[in-house]
Amino acid sequence: MATRDEPGIMDFVLLDEITIERFMENLMIRFNAGFIYTYIGEVCISVNPYRTLNIYGQDYINQYKGREIFENPAHIFAIADSAHRSMKMHRQDSCIVISGESGSGKTEASKIIMKYIAAVTNLTGQQEVERVKNILIQSNIILETFGNAKTNRNDNSSRFGKYMDINFDFKGDPIGGRVINYLLEKSRVIQQQLGERNFHSFYQALGNTTHKEASNLGLNPDPQHYFYTRQGKSTITPADKSDFQATLSACKTLGFSATDIKTIWKIVAAILQLGNVTFSTNDDDSITVTNFHNNPVEQVSKLLEVDAKDLLTALSKRIIAANGELLQKAHTLSQAEVGRDALAKAIYDRLFTWIVSKVNEALIPYIENDKYKGGTVIGVLDIYGFEVFEQNSFEQFCINYCNEKLQQVFIDLVLRQEQEEYKKEGIAWQEVKYFNNQVICDLVEKPHQGVIAIMDEACLNVGKVNDEMLLEAMDSKLSNHKHYSSRQVKTLDKDLKHKTQFKILHYAGDVVYNIYGFLEKNKDTLFQDFKRLLYSSKNPIIRDMWPEGALDIKSTTKRPVTAGSAFKISMIALVKTLNSKMPYYVRCIKPNENKAPVGIDYKRVVHQVSYLGLLENVRVRRAGFAHRQPYNRYKMISGFTWPNYKCSDKEATRALIDENHFSNDVKYGVTKLFIRSPQTLFALEKMRAELIPAIVILLQKQWRGAICRAKFRKMKAAYFIIKFYRRHKIRTYLKSVLEAHRLTNNIYF
């Protein structure tokens, strides 16, 4: 409910009418008044304010610490506190799932949650607790530097999915953690859309070429000098220089050695130089590596500490093992360019994976210690939101599949929690109809028949199947699926290009994908020559990133898992992890495309409300008895329990309900009162609020009386002690007098 100073309604469940118009009206009223958080039961809706708000200080932390969700205005702190208290009180693992589209504030929400959890843990002064708190916060800085980028929708967009487990000991203090990353958008390394940037790390390196950590990398400070950073026409910002210092500081906090840090920036610089390697075709159709801009091949070999001749050979040729013999085959121009870009993407991907492992090394040390066994976990999931661009490729396909899985988990857990609570409390459950997106998940992941399976089958026929043939295979197997279409399947759908595009009807809306690049990105292949080259590096860190380079040239290796299958496996594991924990949700909304602190793009937000399933969530909560309160919340209103206790809280509440004629609007659970309509809840809360001042005065009177009585007892005890002390002093004095006069007669008194 809204307070006197709070506009609109704090919980959408309390709306008198569940329609998109009333939902949007309440959301806009609150956002325009500066209230960015609203609840749907225990789900927090967060609207990106695009400005700094003074609502995250220590006074707010104290306000929400140890409080129930409904006791204070809606805030993300309340969700974080509920997850933390549930974990401590019930010894049950919990997780906070943060979702929404790019630019909706997911990353900021995850940082706010982690800072709150760090702030409310026991302040025992233990160095280990403080160390872990600091690492949890500093790890975000490093992961953002190497995993985030500026897009046209968001200046700090996470281009990877992140799930972090924070481990706690039996006292509720953090003792470590673990980070799992999902599907880094490594294609961004080689290509960006106009107005977008590559990963932040590249611009931090270019913006600090005079810094001692980056001074010997041979970099030109102009991003337009490098092919991999000039495509979006973006420039270096003042923030890149300051963020570089923050990244270095965070690396040192997490225990990165000076050699580690130097190697990181060497690899970043090598990728930039690699993008400037070009090729030309000779008269005999062979290719030659064209060196320009200070000889980029030489620079790359120096930075990666590999032999320059070996690098030239790997870029222009590859070794093939056939029938026990080794053959050297020259690349065509297109093969050489694809190989160069594949190398750049693979190097950055391995670097990011290595950085995540280093972060985990700093977080994990004490978790396996017997001293901390029996601890609990809070998971925080910050993962990419649903994406629809002008050109949607393999990356958007995987990201939207991920969101389908998370939506499935969300609906399933919400309904399951409702059913379990009703069953536990002995209340009949009213079935709610909702869209089950399992059919879309099956379209993508079903064995032998899903899109991923069809792509994997096409990848087995290397050189025989191209992207157009892949689309034909999908059309053949999926033509009857109601959530799939293409121009070949539906000839009247002229919005789709022939033999180029296909459409999937996601729960969040229709998305048109361009088939070109799907096969190559799914295969995610890198010539073995490059792996052997990098394994030969004199830098032990780089060499350890490529262990498969140690394999013998003639040895046959198992076909690597495709990118699509690997992502599907990771999604299944993520869903299993989420299902094992008590979930809490933060649903983030992007109010407008202009990143303006005022104004809501009505149509844009309605679309987000739709695909996040928010209205559906409200209906689920309202299907039966939307409002649940423990019996002791209203016991002071009843004459049976206040001020004199005459019966149980449940019996007193039942008598109160009957007295006020609310019986048709409530059900009595084992431990809670279930209320159907907001009007009944408002009436009970109003009665409670009117009685609270009198109760406070009564409690103050009783407490003052208790203090005075305690003070009187202390004074009485003091007089009693003084009385006996005086008698003791008199006795002692008389004894000393008698001893002085050597009296022998006994004196009784």
Pick the closest to residue 620 from 2, 44, 41 (CA basis).
41
pLDDT for 373 equals 57
> If you average pLDDT over residues 234-250, what whole number do you get?
92
SS3 158: strand
Q: Cα(326)–Cα(265) distance, rounded to whole angstroms?
A: 36
Query: Which residues does the annotation place in the binding site for ATP?
Result: 100-107
Most confident listed range (152-166, 170-184, 262-276, 374-388): 262-276
Tell whether 542 and 636 lie within a shared domain: no
Any domain includes 218: yes
Tell whether 639 and 549 lie within a shared domain: no
Q: Cα(197)–Cα(149) distance, rounded to whole angstroms?
A: 6
Any domain includes 392: no
pLDDT for 671 equals 87
Cα angle value 623/70/651 (rounded, 5°)? 70
Whether 564 sits among the annotated catalytic residues: the reply is no
Instruction: Considering the candidates 176, 385, 564, 613, report the single residue annotated as catalytic.
Output: 385
pLDDT for 674 equals 85
| Phi (first) and psi of residue 9, to 5 degrees | -115, 130
Tell whether 293 and 205 lie within a shared domain: yes
pLDDT for 3 equals 45
What is the count of structural domains for the chain?
Answer: 2
Whether 103 sits among the annotated catalytic residues: the reply is yes
Any domain includes 286: yes
> If you average pLDDT over residues 204-220, what whole number do you get?
89
Check pLDDT > 90 for residue 440: yes
Tell whether 224 and 366 lie within a shared domain: yes
> If you average pLDDT over residues 431-452, what whole number do you get?
87
Tell whether 676 and 541 lie within a shared domain: no
Model pLDDT for residues 681-690, shown as the tens digit of each residue: 778 878 888 8
- DSSP letter at 462 equals T
Whether 562 sits among the annotated catalytic residues: the reply is no
Any domain includes 114: no
Whether 479 sits among the annotated catalytic residues: the reply is no
Tell whether 677 and 542 lie within a shared domain: no
Check pLDDT > 50 for residue 610: yes
pLDDT confidence of 12, banded at 50, 70, 90? very high
In sequence order, the β-bridge partners of residue 39 are 11, 44
Tell whether 360 and 259 lie within a shared domain: yes
In sequence order, the β-bridge partners of residue 667 are 674
> Average pLDDT over the chain, rounded to whole?
86
Any domain includes 159: no
Any domain includes 82: no
List all residues 6 or more positions away from 225 whose beta carbon is below 8 Å from its beta carbon: 276, 293
Model pLDDT for residues 627-671, shown as the tens digit of each residue: 778 887 887 777 666 666 667 778 878 888 887 778 888 888 888
Whether 387 sits among the annotated catalytic residues: the reply is yes
Q: What is the CATH number of the domain that holds 337?
A: 1.20.120.720
Whether 157 sits among the annotated catalytic residues: the reply is yes
Whether 102 sits among the annotated catalytic residues: the reply is yes
Check pLDDT > 60 for residue 192: yes
Whether 38 sits among the annotated catalytic residues: the reply is no
SS3 letters across 491-516: CCCCCCCCCCEEEEEECCEEEEEECC
Check pLDDT > 50 for residue 4: no
Instruction: Considering the candidates 46, 102, 121, 247, report the single residue annotated as catalytic.
Output: 102
pLDDT for 346 equals 94
Q: What is the CATH number of the domain that holds 715?
A: 1.20.5
- 441, 443, 445, 449: CA torsion to nearest 10: 160
Greater model confidence, 419 or 37:
37
> If you average pLDDT over residues 323-333, what whole number do you get?
79
> If you average pLDDT over residues 249-257, what whole number do you get?
92
Most confident listed range (9-13, 366-370, 380-384, 741-745): 9-13
Q: Cα(75)–Cα(63) distance, rounded to whole angstroms?
A: 11
Instruction: Considering the candidates 26, 82, 94, 157, report the single residue annotated as catalytic.
Output: 157
143-147, 190-194, 373-377: the lowest-pLDDT one? 373-377
> If you average pLDDT over residues 457-483, what whole number do you get?
89
Do residues 104 and 608 touch, judged by C-beta distance below 8 A? Answer: yes
Tell whether 222 and 328 lie within a shared domain: yes
Instruction: Considering the candidates 158, 201, 276, 562, report the single residue annotated as catalytic.
Output: 158
- Does the pTM of the predicted model rise above 0.85? no
Q: Cα(99)–Cα(387) distance, rounded to whole angstroms?
A: 12
Pick the closest to residue 532 from 557, 511, 512, 510 (CA basis).
557
Model pLDDT for residues 487-522, shown as the tens digit of each residue: 999 988 888 998 999 999 998 889 999 999 899 889
**Structural element, H or E, at residue 130:** helix 127-147
Tell whether 667 and 542 lie within a shared domain: no
pLDDT confidence of 126, banded at 50, 70, 90? very low
Pick the closest to residue 168 from 382, 373, 380 (CA basis).
373
Model pLDDT for residues 552-561, shown as the tens digit of each residue: 766 655 667 8
Instruction: Considering the candidates 86, 148, 154, 677, report the single residue annotated as catalytic.
Output: 154
Considering 537, 559, 581, which residue would you say is the last residue of a domain? 559
Q: Cα(451)–Cα(564) distance, rounded to whole angstroms?
A: 9
Tell whether 143 and 292 lie within a shared domain: yes
In sequence order, the β-bridge partners of residue 629 are 673
Which residue's structure tokens are 């009296």?
743
Any domain includes 192: yes
Any domain includes 62: no
Tell whether 733 and 634 lie within a shared domain: yes
SS3 letters across 281-337: ECCCCCEEEECCCCCHHHHHHHHHCCCHHHHHHHHHEEEEEECCEEEEEECCHHHHH
Sign of CA pseudo-dihedral 183, 184, 189, 195:
positive
- Residue 161: count of CB within 10 angstroms of its CB: 24
Model pLDDT for residues 142-169, shown as the tens digit of each residue: 999 999 999 887 888 888 988 988 888 7
Tell whether 270 and 364 lie within a shared domain: yes
Give the domain range for residue 712.
628-748
